[in-house]
Structure 1
């Protein structure tokens, strides 16, 4: 099994820039398959160039084990694991009731 399976990644390019995903498959040395269980379900993962991703030092072990066993995890499992990793890795998420930062003068 490839070392990046189950790893938390963030898109750095494309219209999904800034969106977190989990790696659910590796196509070759340039492309991986990512899913978030919401907009990108497990049965329809997105093919992303590795250069367009930021790889974080966090892995969803339960998703990794399911994929290693040849099972496809459910979308709810993927969302739960992704939310836990994002909360752990990035800290408290910014709430929607907070005002955006003022830029400029």
Structure 2
């Protein structure tokens, strides 16, 4: 299993800029498939160039284990894991002007 499966990523380019995803598959050294369980469900993941993603040092272990076992996680499980990771990794950071910090590129 590839090390980035289940990893938290943020889009840095495209219409989905700043949106968090989880890596659900690695196609090759340039492209991965990402899903969020909401706009991009597990059965229709988005193909993204790795240069257009910010890889964070956070993994959803339960999603990673399911994908390693060859099972497709439910969209609700993916959303729950993604929400927990985003809250744990980014927290409630705010700038001096009171606006949330922008994530990504």
Which is higher, the Rg of structure 1 or of structure 2? Answer: 1
Instruction: Give distance in 1, aligned partners of 2:4 and 2:38.
Output: 21
Partner of 1:16: 16
| 1:56 to 2:56 alignment | yes
Structure 1 stretches (4+) deviating beyond 3 angstroms? none
Higher relative contact order (CA 8 A, sep 6+): 2
CA RMSD in angstroms comes to: 1.5
What SS does the corresponding residue of 1:54 show, helix, strand or coil? strand
| 1:28 to 2:28 alignment | yes
Provide the TM-score with structure 2 as the length reference.
0.88
- Structure 1 residue runs of 5 or longer lacking an equivalent are none
- Structure 2 residue runs of 5 or longer lacking an equivalent are 101-105
Provide the TM-score with structure 1 as the length reference.
0.88
